[in-house]
Structure 1
Amino acid sequence: MAGPTTDFWQARFDNKETGWDRGAPSPQLLAWLEGGALQPCRVAVPGCGGGWEVAELARRGFEVVGIDYTPAAVERTRALLSAQGLSAEVVQADVLTYQPDKPFDAIYEQTCLCALHPDHWVDYARQLQNWLIPQGSIWALFMQMMRPEASSEGVIAGPPYHCDINAMRALFPAQDWRWPKPPYEKVPHPNVGHELGLHLILRQGR
């Protein structure tokens, strides 16, 4: 498998090398929730990491399924939920093979795509589409982290991998997804770089 392994991510947690972790839910998720754009529903959080977004969604009445293949991430998310007296399903699974027992209304995609090697992006995008009901939504934060060696030499550098918006449009094409018009929300990130926040809606016909 190209890119980081489960052991790579486990070591990052064990060594407390989790610079991507804000220690709180993403401000863009909070904006979507507090503005009423994202309403309670059945939602998946792939690559749930420390569980901040899982807990926030559970607190607000969502039926949440957090997914991560790293044992430390699953343990941390479950511990956070328990400490806050919240309930959500947390599954240890590979997002490239995971199949839900019933479809989701929405997916919150923040940290998973940029953590996957681009060789796996097409399969992952297909997974997300298959997890959703028709007209389901992806609430996405696409990592913008262009590195000099990538732009000048074509090196695939990461994680996090740069989620170029043109590549994202190829992964989630307009014939399958309704895209909002840019400019998109620019969300500062703890790492160098930022995210672009946008809402994609799966078209009825697939």
Structure 2
Amino acid sequence: MDLRKDSYWEDRYNTGKDGWDIGHISPPLKAFTDRLGDKTIKILVPGAGNGYEAEYLFRQGFTNTYMLDFAAAPLNHFKARVPDFPDSRILHEDFFNVRMQFDLILEQTFFCAIPPSSRPDYVRQMHRLLHPGGTLAGLLFDFPLTEDGPPFGGSREAYTTLFTPYFDISIMETCYNSIPPRAGRELFFKVQPKTL
């Protein structure tokens, strides 16, 4: 099982093994994005899957939203569902190869899907992808990290240690508005890149 191969994720989508897909934007991310004022900021949703967060932002008038996945199947589902979303903002590529920069990156079940050994690479890449003063925000699972996954868990302490060399952490707290199956098992976090 190679989690950094698109064929693994294509198979998950094509065989209906996408239990992480809740069919809509998650309540914590909806609450966060509903408080954003500037609808022209450049936003990335990485590992977007069926793209409910990107769709919600687009429907709310965020005019510079991008979604990324290296599995084609969910991107095709998204395009069929949201045909007016600009093709140029649907990125079918490996997150670790992206060389653009963004003002905001939304994390939703992407971090938990990559091999835990790739987490330092994720943090460094997120730092590269954000403009100075940008923000990475979203959800991280709060349950013991094991080899069983995805999804892979972790703890507030481990995430703090991982992110601190590259980011200032402004929020890392248990979600109050998770969907019921994830209640008490999600952390909402918000971090800004340090100047290195």
Q: Given that residues 123 and 162 in structure 2 are in contact (C-alpha distance below 8 angstroms), is that contact kept between their aligned partners in structure 1?
A: yes
User: What percentage of residue pairs aligned between the two structures are identical?
Assistant: 27
Query: Is residue 2:60 matched to residue 1:60?
Result: yes
Q: Mark the CA change 1:189 to 1:18 in structure 2 (over 3 Å): closer, same or farther.
A: farther
Root-mean-square deviation over aligned CA pairs? 2.3
Q: Secondary structure at the match of 1:10?
A: helix
* 2:29 counterpart residue number: 29
Unpaired segments of 5 or more residues in structure 2?
Answer: none
How many correspondences in the alignment? 192
Q: Mark the CA change 1:48 to 1:181 in structure 2 (over 3 Å): closer, same or farther.
A: closer
Q: Given that residues 174 and 186 in structure 2 are in contact (C-alpha distance below 8 angstroms), is that contact kept between their aligned partners in structure 1?
A: no
Q: Secondary structure at the match of 1:180?
A: strand
Q: Counterparts of 1:86 and 1:92 in 2: how far apart (Å)?
A: 14
Q: Counterparts of 2:96 and 2:4 in 1: how far apart (Å)?
A: 14
The 5-angstrom pairing of residues 1-206 of structure 1 reads: 3=3, 5-34=5-34, 36-37=35-36, 39-40=38-39, 41-62=41-62, 63-82=64-83, 85-87=84-86, 89-100=89-100, 103-146=101-144, 155-173=146-164, 176-180=166-170, 183-186=173-176, 187-188=178-179, 190=181, 194-203=185-194, 205-206=195-196
Q: Given that residues 19 and 190 in structure 1 are in contact (C-alpha distance below 8 angstroms), is that contact kept between their aligned partners in structure 2?
A: no
Cα deviations by residue, 1:23-78 (Å, 9 ceiling, x for unpaired):
111111111123x1464210110000011001111122221111101111221222
Q: Mark the CA change 1:86 to 1:27 in structure 2 (over 3 Å): closer, same or farther.
A: same
Letter matched to residue 70 of structure 1 = A
Q: Which runs of 4+ in 1 moved over 4 A?
A: 189-193
The normalised TM-score by structure 2 is 0.86
Q: Secondary structure at the match of 2:122?
A: helix
Unpaired segments of 5 or more residues in structure 1?
Answer: none
Letter matched to residue 95 of structure 2 = V
Letter matched to residue 64 of structure 1 = T
Q: Mark the CA change 1:191 to 1:17 in structure 2 (over 3 Å): closer, same or farther.
A: farther
The normalised TM-score by structure 1 is 0.83
Letter matched to residue 32 of structure 1 = F
